[in-house]
Amino acid sequence: MIYDYITIDKNKAAPLYLQLYESIKRAVGTGRIKKGDRLPSIRKLAHGLGVSCTTVDAAYQQLCVEGYICPKPKKGYFALAAQSQYGDCPEKPPAPASCRTNRVYIRYNFGTDCVDSRNIDVKAWRHYIREILNRKEIIASYGAHQGEMELRSALSDYSGRERGTVAPPERIVVGAGTQPLLSILCGLLGKGKTVAMESPGFLQAEQVFSDYGFKVLKLPGDSAGIDMDALQKSGAGLAFVSPSGRMSNGLSIPMGRRLELLKWARKNGGIIIEDDHNGELRYRARPVPSMQGLGGGRDVVYIGSFSKLLLPSVRIGYMVLTPELLKPYLPLAVNYNQTASKIEQLALSGYIKNGGLEKHLRHLRKLYSEKSEKLCAAVGHEFGGTAEILLQETPLTVLLTVHSVKGAEELCSIAAEKGVRVTAAPGGLKIRLGFAGIPMDDIEPAVACLKEAWGKYLLK
């Protein structure tokens, strides 16, 4: 009986479908389930194990993909040849700790690449997607190279209201996130350029600049942002900045330094690339308007995205070109294939125009304010003076400087072994706790788990 070979523990951190998958895979691999044996139906096995049909279906699908079982229409699922029938196969080396943590053993996720699924406006998003899918005359063609005009018009209004940008629709370029948009921009700027950014830099942007042969200079910063003397002496014609959340500490660039940067660009014929990732998500105070708007829409290329407002899996970003860069772009636009889904672009335009995005934004500001307060309080309670806390508001993270005999990377690995995912911040001296994805109720037990994992390494 197949039930004899299945071990499921609902108290384990590993998802039930993976436990079921591993049990059946092991039984097929050892020959305890023989080639041709029929497996129980999804409904029958779910009832017998006391799990959902979705759990069994997910396990069966994975086993099918990997060739352990196969479906036969109207008959069910059957085992394929056991591993032993092919001879002894070398045992696979264990997966790296990071892979095991991400795929199976993760219990508390402080990663920065996800959002809490319980706070996604799925119902509204599904409505707008379905509405576009019913417009067959629209979805049966390729999308506009520059982005759908419906979305560009909606973004022009939204960005002006929320970020204070000067963004007429004809100057907006839509793409699947920051990197594809930077690729277009680099093609317009030409080769051999030098771009300056505040240390420690931004890896994803650096990669694109490097791909296009740009020289990247990581300049020192002071309390206000990138050091202006160093920028002036660097000879760079481009400056990549994140005014709403600096990569070094997550703080915003104050107004005085923003004006200095705009003066530098105007005086030297330079261009500022403003990465405004999550700029509208500030919740402890009013969001600071964009540098692009402050400069009247000139000398600054503005880039915005929606990964933490909608879903990280919805890859839509937009870029507002300067009037000078729009001229060379327009004749080349037809040569750039659109990287963002036409269906999602049109759905997003409806979501914005009907006020859904701004309503959701108000909800997220309240939510992230509560989460950040709870996380800071939990860290203070558990770690006391053994850790220093720096809240990065728009990046939705808390930076920890842990006083420990272990380095940040080692502490991340130790946390992973206990089922807590954390990452080392650029430079490897601090630990980053992202709170966008972790449920509110998990924050305190997650921090307690970190204290348990790191306790013996802390310096009193």
CATH number of the CATH domain containing 35: 1.10.10.10
DSSP symbol at 240: E
- Check pLDDT > 70 for residue 332: yes
| Across 125-141, average pLDDT | 88
| Across 369-388, average pLDDT | 93
Q: How many Å apart are CA 456 and CA 351, to the nearest integer?
A: 50
- Check pLDDT > 80 for residue 237: yes
With contact defined as beta carbons under 8 Å apart, do 393 and 245 qualify? Answer: yes
With contact defined as beta carbons under 8 Å apart, do 412 and 423 qualify? Answer: yes
One domain for residues 441 and 419:
yes
Find which of 16-20, 56-60, 209-213 is predicted with most confidence, using mean pLDDT. 209-213
One domain for residues 168 and 277:
yes
| Across 179-208, average pLDDT | 93
Q: How high is the pLDDT of residue 6? A: 83
Neighbours of 72 (CB within 10 A): 9
User: 349: which 2 tokens?
Assistant: 């335009």
Residue 101 is assigned to a structural domain of this protein: no
One domain for residues 299 and 174:
yes
Boundary of a domain, candidates 313, 333, 354 = 354
Neighbours of 329 (CB within 10 A): 19
Nearest to 379 by CA among 410, 402, 409, 405: 402
Tell me the whole-structure pTM to 2 decimals.
Answer: 0.71
Q: How many Å apart are CA 419 and CA 387, to the nearest integer?
A: 20
| Across 220-225, average pLDDT | 91
**For 132, phi and psi rounded to 5 degrees?**
-70, -40
Q: How many Å apart are CA 370 and CA 376, to the nearest integer?
A: 10
One domain for residues 371 and 267:
no
Domain count, the chain: 3
One domain for residues 145 and 243:
yes
- Check pLDDT > 70 for residue 92: no
- Check pLDDT > 60 for residue 90: no
One domain for residues 350 and 385:
no
Residue 100 is assigned to a structural domain of this protein: no
Residue 70 is assigned to a structural domain of this protein: yes
One domain for residues 228 and 338:
yes
Boundary of a domain, candidates 304, 325, 354 = 354
Residue 72 is assigned to a structural domain of this protein: yes
Residue 452 is assigned to a structural domain of this protein: yes
User: Which whole-number Å values give the CA distances from 1 to 38, 105, 134, 429, 438, in the listed order?
Assistant: 11, 28, 48, 54, 40
Q: How high is the pLDDT of residue 9? A: 82
Radius of gyration, CA atoms only, the chain: 26
Structural domain boundaries enclosing 72: 2-92
With contact defined as beta carbons under 8 Å apart, do 317 and 178 qualify? Answer: yes
Domain with residue 428: its CATH number is 3.90.1150.10
- Check pLDDT > 70 for residue 87: no
Q: How many Å apart are CA 321 and CA 335, to the nearest integer?
A: 17
Residue 145 is assigned to a structural domain of this protein: yes
One domain for residues 206 and 336:
yes
Q: How high is the pLDDT of residue 354? A: 93
Q: How many Å apart are CA 174 and CA 352, to the nearest integer?
A: 15
Residue 262 is assigned to a structural domain of this protein: yes
One domain for residues 223 and 340:
yes
Residue 307 is assigned to a structural domain of this protein: yes
One domain for residues 57 and 151:
no
**What one-character-per-residue DSSP string does 244-288 give?**
TS-TTTSPPPPHHHHHHHHHHHHHHT-EEEEE-TTGGG--SSPPP
Nearest to 440 by CA among 386, 383, 375: 375
Q: How high is the pLDDT of residue 315? A: 85
Q: What is the mean pLDDT of the chain?
A: 87
Boundary of a domain, candidates 303, 334, 354 = 354
One domain for residues 203 and 279:
yes
Q: What is the pLDDT of residues 251-303, one digit of tens each?
A: 788 889 999 999 999 999 999 999 998 777 777 667 778 999 999 999 999 99
One domain for residues 221 and 340:
yes
| Across 182-191, average pLDDT | 94
Q: For residue 72, what are the β-bridge partners?
A: 76
| Across 195-208, average pLDDT | 92
User: 12: which 2 tokens?
Assistant: 């384990």
